[in-house]
């Protein structure tokens, strides 16, 4: 039976559903009259207060642009640059308010914090082009609005960095001209040359630089050749083995100086020396790295058994069970409540996360995404990326319904204000509830079997930064647990495989094609969790499981001493970096300093390396030559520091341009300040922040060709309630069944004999609900929550969304991991 698109307006009955995809919803049995499938009432759902972290609207951005053009008239500032050397307003977005201003608004009904914009000015001078942060506010723009240098978030005391490459187009022209001048070399060694008239020529070469700040007054670019043309996504699988070093210190591209050349393990002082060596009879030539079907991500022709049938899919027949206020970015789901927003550098952030009305987190947000390579060639040997520079939010593009997210997910848009224009990124955040393939809990007893479905809520975005796609999930579980999970896919950034006597085989990766090495690298992705466990006053402890030898009186006289284990608590008393403990021998727990549960235990949340390929990593490289002080947060797994308004972030996207003297040096944040509090003389009130890393030590192999697979590159950190509640909170919300195998009365409770008389009053009382009523247990299926009790009807779009109609983007602007698309190279040939 064939189902075509022309019936999508109709409804599929369960019989058609069964014939089409081999699935059938069985009606629930044994609970007549229990079905209640009214969708959650979301029409009137509103956030309790305004989202003070929300992004700048297009109207606000236009007002800020107009204000600044007048305010900076002496600089001849333009909204949208027409040349590379104009002064222009690069970005406008919201400046996140101080926590000290927000908490009184949230919890004491104080006035709403002032709204300010954060602006990056691209100021170009002949000597020192700069990118400069300013704050504009209060908003809306009025006579009281002012523009001031934004300095308080930066440990450097500066609000600017030197722009490595103000003239991206100029650098591209320089590289292409250089390649044209050596077309005889590239034709001989690579059987290809650049095509400036048609950059999409599949037989043409590309050229890209890797810039390194060797010292404050020296900027070096290593330029490497790639193929094929600009139309290929597989460029990073196709590096070629020719490299040239350029002194790019001057802000004027015309003053750059071409230096050494590197080929097949040999350095040549200049191009003439390189040419002479090529004419030598003992010159060793390496094969070029050539494109072909091996870089294609799809195989439309293969027909293995089973591919002719569509796979199972998740559906949501009766609508969502969560509530969403899209206007304010506010959500509610089974006790969880939170706000969400998105920024250009870091993408989606969550704020004011509460569970069952209690405070859990003030902020949960991405800070930076680092990829650091190693290798024996000039490109891979020191290559690193700090991806917020290119924009994890700027490059969070539209999601594919039915693939990135279930077809029934809710979608939100974000807006970018750059170069005088507003760009809408449609449907680039999705929200959905999902039921796992494994249960939340289960138990088999003598006369019953109980199973609880594991459903969870996910907020998802995908950031495509050059060659890699990062799927970022914030996941919420029914017991109050929160998980941050990142999965990576896309093309690896390979290295040219030069088979020569100087090469150390497999020291930096594996050979994975004719002339391609896998190029080992670390992914270290930093997040911030500003925990407020039942309030802002918190403590971090290491709860250790330690072996011990102890004598017990009840062992005597047979066992004098017993080898066993016990718990020992070690308070973390000062700011520090921690690593995941050996053998999982310690629990890292953030406790409330003063709030306890019903049993007198401090309310807490455990911080634990979560689900994925293994423990989350920190950077393997010690004192990275390339990174300098720009990413010291990557040197440990977890950090605990004081919360300070002047330290809102652990990294800044412009650190990428000044790694030796970054705007934010994390060592000035985690600088061993005391975490002791409670004394009247202490200025610290116990408000702490956790920075944590996810990622992987990636040693790509043949299975990463053509694309890395998400299930082999996922990692996460979880925040798990630890004595936070009096008992498991999921019991109130979970959906499941108790299959009573024997007994027809009110039995099924612990200690009840189904063959005996009516249970005693103590056991009977355990079956009463809060209103004094009583659920009558019976043989068969006893459901907690509402089961499916009738045939399900759904449109075809619920199984397979109509992507040509639903996907709004016609062309996607992507970054090439050069300076294009970043703050340094926003100016294009056709703005």
Q: How far apart are CA 824 and CA 418, in angstroms?
A: 12
How many beta carbons lie within 10 A of that of residue 196, not counting itself? 14
Q: Which uninterrupted H or E stretch holds 181? A: helix 168-181
Q: How far is CA 403 from CA 342, 432, 460, in A?
A: 22, 13, 12
Positive or negative: CA dihedral 127, 133, 135, 136: positive
Contacts of 763 (CB under 8 A, 6+ apart): 749, 751, 752
Active-site annotation holds for 468: yes
3-state secondary structure 656-713: HHCCCCCCCCHHHCCCCCECCCCCCCCCCCCCEEEEEEEEEEECCCHHHCCCECHHHC
Q: How far is CA 86 from CA 67, 129, 695, 712, in A?
A: 18, 10, 39, 46
Q: How far apart are CA 67 and CA 88, in angstroms?
A: 13
Q: How far apart are CA 389 and CA 822, in angstroms?
A: 6
What is Dmax (Cα atoms) for the chain? 102
Cβ burial, residue 114 (10 Å; 0-12/13-18/19+): middle
Q: How far apart are CA 623 and CA 526, in angstroms?
A: 18
Q: How far apart are CA 145 and CA 137, in angstroms?
A: 5
Q: Is the peptide bond before 96 cis (omega within 30 degrees of 0)?
A: no
Spacing of C-alpha 220 from chain mean position: 31
Cα torsion for 170, 171, 175, 180, to the nearest 10°? 0
Q: Do 521 and 627 contact (CB within 8 A), yes or no? A: no
Contacts of 774 (CB under 8 A, 6+ apart): 746, 764, 767, 768
Catalytic residue among 468, 477, 491, 588: 468
Q: Do 230 and 200 contact (CB within 8 A), yes or no? A: yes
Q: Do 641 and 687 contact (CB within 8 A), yes or no? A: no
Q: How far apart are CA 71 and CA 91, in angstroms?
A: 16
Q: How far apart are CA 615 and CA 455, in angstroms?
A: 24
For tokens 């924009």, what's the residue? 391
Q: How far apart are CA 340 and CA 395, in angstroms?
A: 18
Catalytic residue among 63, 387, 530, 687: 387
Q: How far apart are CA 615 and CA 636, in angstroms?
A: 12
Q: How far apart are CA 696 and CA 700, in angstroms?
A: 11
Q: How far apart are CA 640 and CA 808, in angstroms?
A: 42
Q: How far is CA 74 from CA 68, 70, 558, 739, in A?
A: 11, 9, 91, 78
Cα torsion for 365, 677, 357, 52, to the nearest 10°? -50
Give the 3-state secondary structure of residue 802.
Answer: coil
Active-site annotation holds for 411: no
Q: How far apart are CA 388 and CA 528, in angstroms?
A: 14
Half-sphere exposure of 609 (CA within 13 A, CB side): 24
| 476-496 burial: b if 16+ Cβ within 10 Å, else e | bbbbbbbbbbbbbbbbbbbbb
Positions marked active-site: 387, 468
């Amino acid at each position: 039976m064939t189902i075509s698109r022309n019936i999508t307006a109709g409804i599929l009955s369960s019989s058609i559903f069964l014939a089409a995809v081999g699935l059938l919803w069985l009606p629930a049995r044994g609970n007549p009259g229990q079905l209640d499938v009214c969708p959650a009432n979301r029409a009137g759902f509103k956030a309790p207060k305004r989202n003070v972290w929300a992004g700048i609207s297009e109207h606000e951005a236009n007002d800020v642009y107009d204000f600044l053009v007048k305010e900076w008239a002496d600089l001849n500032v333009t909204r949208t640059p027409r040349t590379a050397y104009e002064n222009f307003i690069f970005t406008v977005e919201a400046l996140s308010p101080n926590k000290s201003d927000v908490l009184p608004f949230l919890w004491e009904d104080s006035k709403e914090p002032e709204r300010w914009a954060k602006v990056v000015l691209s100021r170009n001078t002949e000597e020192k082009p700069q990118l400069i942060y300013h704050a504009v506010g209060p908003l809306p723009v009025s006579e009281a609005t002012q523009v001031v240098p934004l300095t308080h978030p930066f440990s450097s005391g500066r609000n600017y960095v030197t722009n490595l490459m103000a003239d991206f187009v100029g650098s591209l022209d320089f590289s292409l001209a250089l390649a044209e001048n050596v077309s005889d070399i590239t034709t001989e060694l690579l059987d290809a040359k650049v095509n400036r008239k048609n950059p999409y020529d599949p037989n043409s070469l590309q050229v890209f630089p890797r810039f390194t700040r060797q010292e404050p007054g020296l900027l070096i670019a290593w330029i490497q050749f790639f193929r094929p043309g600009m139309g290929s996504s597989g460029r990073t699988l196709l590096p070629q083995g020719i490299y040239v070093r350029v002194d790019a210190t001057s802000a004027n591209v015309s003053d750059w100086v071409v230096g050494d050349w590197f080929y097949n393990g040999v350095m040549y002082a200049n191009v003439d020396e390189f040419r002479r060596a090529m004419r030598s009879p003992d010159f060793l030539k390496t094969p070029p790295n050539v494109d072909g079907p091996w870089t294609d991500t799809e195989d439309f022709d293969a027909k293995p058994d089973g591919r002719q049938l569509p796979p199972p899919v998740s559906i949501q027949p009766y609508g969502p069970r969560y509530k969403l206020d899209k206007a304010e970015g506010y959500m509610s789901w089974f006790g969880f409540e939170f706000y969400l927003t998105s920024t250009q550098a870091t993408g989606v952030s969550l704020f004011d996360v509460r569970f069952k009305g209690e405070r859990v987190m003030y902020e949960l947000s991405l800070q930076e995404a680092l990829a650091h390579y190693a290798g024996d060639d000039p490109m891979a040997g020191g290559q690193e990326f700090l991806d917020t520079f290119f924009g994890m939010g700027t490059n969070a593009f539209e999601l594919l319904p039915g693939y990135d997210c279930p077809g029934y997910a809710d979608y939100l848009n974000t807006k970018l204000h750059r170069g005088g224009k507003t760009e809408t990124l449609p449907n680039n955040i999705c929200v959905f509830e999902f039921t796992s393939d494994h249960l939340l809990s289960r138990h088999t007893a003598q006369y019953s079997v109980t199973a609880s479905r594991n459903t969870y809520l996910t907020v998802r975005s995908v950031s495509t930064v050059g060659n890699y796609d990062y799927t970022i999930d914030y996941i919420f579980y029914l017991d109050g647990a929160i998980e941050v999970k990142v999965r990576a896919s896309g093309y690896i950034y390979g290295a040219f495989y030069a088979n020569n006597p100087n090469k150390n085989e497999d020291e930096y990766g594996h050979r994975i094609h004719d002339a391609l090495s896998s190029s080992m690298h670390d992914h270290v992705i930093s997040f911030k969790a500003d925990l407020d466990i039942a309030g802002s006053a918190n403590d971090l402890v290491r709860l250790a499981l330690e072996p011990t030898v102890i004598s017990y009186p009840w062992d005597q006289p047979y066992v004098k001493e017993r080898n066993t284990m016990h718990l020992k608590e070690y308070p973390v008393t000062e700011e520090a970096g921690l690593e995941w403990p050996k053998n999982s021998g310690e629990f890292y727990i953030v406790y409330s300093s003063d709030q306890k549960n019903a049993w007198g235990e401090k309310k807490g949340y455990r911080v634990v390396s979560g689900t994925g390929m293994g423990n989350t990593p920190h950077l393997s490289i010690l004192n990275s030559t390339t990174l300098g002080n720009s990413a010291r947060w990557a040197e440990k797994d977890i950090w605990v520091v004081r919360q300070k308004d002047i330290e809102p972030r652990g990294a800044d996207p412009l650190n990428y341009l000044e790694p030796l003297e970054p705007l934010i040096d994390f060592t000035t944040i985690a600088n061993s300040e005391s975490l002791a509090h409670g004394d009247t003389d202490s200025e610290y009130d116990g408000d702490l922040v956790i920075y944590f890393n996810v990622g992987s030590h990636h040693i790509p192999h043949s299975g990463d060709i053509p694309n890395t697979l998400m299930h082999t590159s996922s990692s996460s950190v979880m925040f798990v309630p630890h004595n936070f509640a009096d008992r498991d909170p999921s019991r109130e919300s979970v959906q499941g069944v108790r299959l009573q195998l024997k007994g027809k009365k009110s039995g099924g409770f612990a200690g009840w004999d189904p063959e005996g008389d009516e249970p005693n009053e103590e056991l009977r009382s355990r079956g009463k609900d809060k209103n004094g009523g009583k659920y009558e247990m019976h043989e068969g299926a006893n459901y907690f929550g509402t089961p499916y009790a009738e045939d399900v009807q759904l449109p075809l779009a619920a199984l397979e969304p109509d992507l040509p109609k639903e996907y709004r983007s016609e062309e996607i602007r992507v970054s090439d991991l050069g300076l294009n698309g970043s703050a340094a190279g926003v100016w294009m040939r056709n703005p």
